[in-house]
Structure 1
Amino acid sequence: MSESKWNTESVKRLFELPLVHLLFEAQCVHRLYFHADELELCTLLSIKTGACPEDCAYCPQSAHYSADASREKLIDVEKVVRQAQIAKEKGAVRFCMGAAWRSPPKKDFHKVLEIIRAVKNLGLETCVTLGMLNAEQAAMLYASGLDFYNHNLDTSPEYYKKIITTRTYQDRLDTLHHVRTAGIKVCCGGIIGMGESREDRIALLIQLASLPKPPESVPINRLIPFEGTPLANSPTLDNFEFIRTIAVARILMPTSILRLSAGRITMSEEMQALCFMAGINSMWLGEKLLTAKNPQCGEDHALLQKLGMKNRKVATQ
C-alpha cells in the first residue's frame, strides 16, 4: 500500500458535507484533470458466460446459485471482432471483455491473447477481466497489447468475507500487483449497495486510493439484485448516498476515470446527470453488461445530447 493522506475520519467528513458543497468540491477536483462535458464511452462483452466456481453473492454466473444465467464456452474470435466493430461504430473507444473464470485455463488462454490482438487492431483500447492471474499470465497479456485489466475489490476488507468465501481479499490484491508489475493499466472498483455500511464504502475508497498507484480506471457499480443469488432481496441503496460515494471517489482519486457501471438501468436521467456532476466521466454503451441489463444505445446518446456531453476520445497505445 502507498502512503495516503486519506484516513477514515477525513473521508467521513467528506461524506457528511452538505450535498451541494460535496458536489462543488468534486467538480473542482474533476476540472483540474478532465473536461467536465466529456464522457468516455465503452462496451462490455461476455466472452465466456456462467458456470463460475466462485461464490460471489451478487453474481448470477456463479455455479453455486440457481440464478437463470446461460452457460457458454469461450466464443470465437470472429464473433468478438464483429461485436467490437459494432461497438466502435456506436462511439465506444474501449472494448472490454469478461470471462467467468476463477482464473484463465491454459487451454483457452492463448485464444484470449488472439482476441485481444484482433480487437486492438481495430483501433480500440482493450480491457479484459478473467479472474485471478499469476505473474506469467500478466506478462503474456501485456505482450499481447492489452491496455487494461479489470479486477474489482468489490467492497471493504472487513465486509468482503460476507460477499465471497472462495477467494481472499489478498488474492485480489496479488492479482492487481501482477497486473501493475507487468505494465498493464489497472481497472479496479467496487459494487455499492450490497448491504454494506457507509464505513465499508469509506474503507473501499481508501483501499483503492491507497494502492501503490491508484487505478487508472475505477468502475462504480450499483448492485442489481438477481433472483437466485444471496443478495436477491437486498434493499435499494439511497440514491443520494450512491451519488455521495461517487463524489468522494472523485476527490480521493482525482486522475482516475470513474465509470458508471452496472445498475444504470435503474437510474433516472436526472440521477445519471448528478452522477456526471459528482465526477463520473465514463459509462458503458450496449444493452448488456455481461448478464445485466443496460440502457439502449439510442437512449444514452439522446441523454448525452440533452446534457451537451461529448464523447471523450482516447489514443490507443
Structure 2
Amino acid sequence: MPAKKESQKISDMNESARWTLRDARELYELPFLDLLFRSHTLHRANFAPNSIQLSRLLSIKTGGCPEDCGYCSQSMHNTSGLKASKLMEAADVIVEAQKAKASGATRYCMGAAWRGPKARDEASIVSLIRSVKGLGLETCMTLGLLSAEQSRTFANAGLDYYNHNIDTSERFYSSIVTTRSFADRLKTIAYVREAGIKVCSGGILGIGETVDDRIDMLVTLANLPAPPDSVPINMLIPIAGSRLASAPPVDPIAFVRIVALARMMMPTSFVRLTAGRTAMSDEMQALCFFAGANSMFIGETLLTAPNPDSDRDNSLIRRLGLVPAAAEGGA
C-alpha cells in the first residue's frame, strides 16, 4: 500500500479509536525497512522531522514504596539496598530545575515513590508545580495513584503533564505488580485527563512479556478515549536485588519495532526514549528517532537509574542533526 494511503488508513483507525491486536500485529510484522519507512513517513506528516523534545526527571521522594513492582529499585519488597528519603525541600528542587533548564530541558518531571500522595503532601506538591512553572518550564509529576479530587487540585495548580505508565499488557500486568491492578492505572489516567492535565503513559520492554504483550500495551493506550499526549518507551534496566535482576536483554530490532508501531498507532503523540538508553548504541537510538521517537530524557540519572551523560547526548544530537524543541506542547 502506498505510504500516503497507509497514513490515511492509520489516521482513520485512530479517529475510530478501535485498534485490535490483530491489526497492530500485522503492522509490527512488516519487513523491518517497510515498517520504518511507513512510521517515518507518518512522523513527518505530524512533526518537524529533526526536532527532539528534551525532558529531565528528578526523584523528589526516593525509596520505601509499598508497591511490589518487580522492576523497581524503590520498592520496599525488593532488596536493592536503596534507603528511603523524605520529600525534598522546595528550594533544593528549584535549584535542580534551574540546572535542567540551563542544560536545554523544556520539561521538568518530578517523581515520588508513593502508592499515591497523602493529603499532607498535597500543599507541597502544589508549591513545587507553581515554582517550577515560574521558571518557564513545563511541569510533569509521577506520584502514583491519584483520586479525581487530587487530579483537579494539581490541575488548578497548573500541572501540565501527569505520568502514569501502564507498564505492559493487562494480561501480563499481575505477573509484575500485585499490589495494584491494571484497572487502578486506567482509573488514574481517566481522572487526570478529566481534570485537564495532559497524559504521559507508556510501558517497559524486557520484563518477561511476550511480543503480543508489548503490542497489546500499545493497543490499550491507542484505544483510550484520547491517546496519551506522550508515550514513554522504556527498556528494562536490571536492578540488583529486584525480581528482574537477571532478565535477559531486549533485542534492539524488536525494540525499534515497538517504537515504530507506537508512532503508527498514535501518530500525533510524542514518543519518548526513556530508561535503558545507557545500554543502547548510538546507532540503535538513531533508528528509534527515524522510527518516530521525538523526545528523550537528559541528565545522568532517571530517578535512581543511570542515564547517558550530557557529553554523549550532546554529541549524539549534534551528529544526527537534531534540533532541541522549544517549550510548546512537547512530550
Using the size of structure 2 for normalisation, the TM-score is 0.94
Aligned equivalent of 2:185, options 172, 181, 187: 172
Instruction: Give the corresponding residue for 1:132.
Output: 145
Aligned partner of residue 161 in structure 1, secondary structure: helix
Instruction: Give the corresponding residue for 2:321.
Output: 308
Instruction: Give the corresponding residue for 1:186.
Output: 199
Quick one: which amino acid aligns to residue 172 of structure 1? R
Q: How does 1:1-317 map to 2 (within 5 A)?
A: 3-315=16-328
Write the distance in 2 (CA, Å) between the matches of 1:147 and 1:108. 19
Write the distance in 2 (CA, Å) between the matches of 1:316 and 1:28. 21
What displacement does 1:4 show?
Answer: 2.4
Are the counterparts in 2 of residues 96 and 128 from structure 1 also a CA contact under 8 Å? yes
Write the distance in 1 (CA, Å) between the matches of 2:67 and 2:88. 21
Quick one: which amino acid aligns to residue 142 of structure 1? A
Are the counterparts in 2 of residues 26 and 248 from structure 1 also a CA contact under 8 Å? yes
Write the distance in 2 (CA, Å) between the matches of 1:202 and 1:228. 28
What displacement does 1:314 show?
Answer: 2.4
Are the counterparts in 1 of residues 234 and 274 from structure 2 also a CA contact under 8 Å? yes
Write the distance in 1 (CA, Å) between the matches of 2:324 and 2:229. 18
Aligned partner of residue 81 in structure 1, secondary structure: helix
Deviations along 1:60-116, one digit per CA (max 9) or x if unpaired, are 100011013232110010111110011001100000000000010112221011011
Are the counterparts in 2 of residues 124 and 316 from structure 1 also a CA contact under 8 Å? no
Alignment root-mean-square deviation, CA:
1.2
Aligned partner of residue 45 in structure 2, secondary structure: helix
Instruction: Give the corresponding residue for 2:4.
Output: none
Deviations along 1:243-273, one digit per CA (max 9) or x if unpaired, are 0000000000000010100000100111110
Q: Which runs of 4+ in 1 moved over 4 A?
A: none
Q: Paired residues, what number?
A: 316
Write the distance in 1 (CA, Å) between the matches of 2:329 and 2:44. 23
Aligned partner of residue 175 in structure 2, secondary structure: coil
Write the distance in 1 (CA, Å) between the matches of 2:34 and 2:83. 45
Quick one: which amino acid aligns to residue 176 of structure 2? I
Are the counterparts in 2 of residues 193 and 222 from structure 1 also a CA contact under 8 Å? yes
Are the counterparts in 2 of residues 58 and 231 from structure 1 also a CA contact under 8 Å? yes
Quick one: which amino acid aligns to residue 237 of structure 1? V
Quick one: which amino acid aligns to residue 304 of structure 1? I
What displacement does 1:5 show?
Answer: 4.0
Unaligned stretches of 5+ residues in structure 1: none
Quick one: which amino acid aligns to residue 194 of structure 1? I
Write the distance in 2 (CA, Å) between the matches of 1:311 and 1:240. 26
Are the counterparts in 2 of residues 220 and 261 from structure 1 also a CA contact under 8 Å? yes
Quick one: which amino acid aligns to residue 315 of structure 1? E
Using the size of structure 1 for normalisation, the TM-score is 0.98
Aligned partner of residue 270 in structure 1, secondary structure: helix
Write the distance in 1 (CA, Å) between the matches of 2:27 and 2:327. 31
Write the distance in 1 (CA, Å) between the matches of 2:63 and 2:329. 31
Unaligned stretches of 5+ residues in structure 2: 1-14
Are the counterparts in 1 of residues 137 and 327 from structure 2 also a CA contact under 8 Å? no
Deviations along 1:175-204, one digit per CA (max 9) or x if unpaired, are 011101100000000001111001101110
Are the counterparts in 1 of residues 171 and 213 from structure 2 also a CA contact under 8 Å? yes
Are the counterparts in 2 of residues 29 and 254 from structure 1 also a CA contact under 8 Å? yes
Are the counterparts in 2 of residues 154 and 190 from structure 1 also a CA contact under 8 Å? yes
Write the distance in 1 (CA, Å) between the matches of 2:314 and 2:84. 31
Are the counterparts in 1 of residues 17 and 225 from structure 2 also a CA contact under 8 Å? no
